[in-house]
Amino acid sequence: MSFRPYIGRAGVVLFASFLCQFASPAIADEPPVPAAQALDIQLKGATSLFEQASAKANEAVTQALDLVGIRYRRGGTSPETGFDCSGFVGHVFRQGLGLILPRTSREISKSGEVVKKNELQPGDLVFFRTMRQAFSHVGIYLGDNLFVHAPASGGEVRIEDMRTGYWGKRFNGARRIASSE
């Protein structure tokens, strides 16, 4: 199964999201808003907070996709030396979002908010039970049951389907890391 079509689609969506940041809102000279509409305006403000969080997640996804193909290296934390799974996730969140995460997947699994599998959003962290240990592997969710990660020795950062036999049987939980900004 080839993931190349997904990478292209993800790029288009991310580019469109990026362009939306530069759209200027229409400004009109309107009379003050009646009190009955004030609540509606506040709710729209909450939506913009959601959009900001979504934009941050897109930044993380874009950063992660740019690193596809970098080789795996145990203990690795940079594109120059290679990545292990937690080094990859840490690098993406540090470079893309300015967030410092703990060093190991087990420690990262204690960060952020727990997310149910059916509520995953792009940018969420997904954890797997490998080596017979809970939370021993971490990747970044892309959407459509796909995630990007640094898999193992001899591998490279790649996109995989969480439903496949190996990963589907080992899914261990998910977390959403929110920026404090």
Q: What residues are labeled active site?
A: 85, 137, 149
Instruction: Tell me which residue has tokens 């940079």.
Output: 78
d(CA 5, CA 26): 36
The strand order across the sheet containing 113-114 reads: 113-114, 171-176, 125-130, 133-143, 146-149, 158-161
Q: For residue 95, what is the enclosing H or E element? A: helix 85-97
Please report the beta strands in the chain, taking only residues with DSSP state E, as ranges in sequence order: 77-78, 82-83, 113-114, 125-130, 133-143, 146-149, 158-161, 171-176
Write out the two tokens for 133. 């240990």
- Pairing label, strands 77-78, 146-149: unpaired
Q: Are residues 173 and 114 in contact, defined by beta-carbon separation less than 8 angstroms?
A: yes
d(CA 106, CA 117): 18
